[in-house]
Amino acid sequence: MFVIVGLGNPGTKYENTLHNTGFGVIDLLSREHGIPVERKKCKALLGEGLIAGKRAVLCKPQTYMNLSGESVVQLLNWYKCALDELVLVYDDVDLPAGKLRFRAEGSAGTHNGMRNIVELLGKTAFPRFRVGIGRPPERMDLADYVLSKPDAENKTLINEAQLKAAKAIETYISQGVEATRVLVGK
């Protein structure tokens, strides 16, 4: 069973903000595979179904970004999936807007939600997809930036990267790490 977790913040106040890029990928997968994400469990909204012929759970933690690990730990305990079946997708200010990066394992980087997940799991050997949202404009606070909506140009780039991330997650589930690396590139 694959547990696919998109990171973001709950509530209408944060809908379509840069920090909810992970939620957007979950929404794409939900629509594509007919998996409604509306059941509450493990401090998340989730839905179960099939992706690439394999059982999958789509998850949107409802803990707010910086406490995402609370939900992820509960999800892993409930579904008892292996770490390589936990797939995270989230925004990254350290990548240009629209850039997608895949890693089968690694550090949390500068992302507070990922830091919390790594801290609570005590492990880093799980796949993750980072969708670039770019850096804030000069003199703009980072927190204000990630909680804002993208401008028109970045919105197009980020939307394209979210579509690519959804396809890459499908590839990871069906074909594994190497095929995903080929699809996503460097």
So which residues are the catalytic ones?
19
Q: Tokens 């997940």 belong to which residue?
A: 117
Q: Which residues contact 127 (CB under 8 A, 6 or more apart)?
A: 84, 86, 87, 88, 102, 103, 104, 105, 172, 177, 180
> Which runs of consecutive H residues, i.e. helices, occur in 8-151?
21-33, 68-79, 112-121, 142-146
DSSP state of 140: -
Query: Token pair 């794409």 is at which residue?
Result: 28
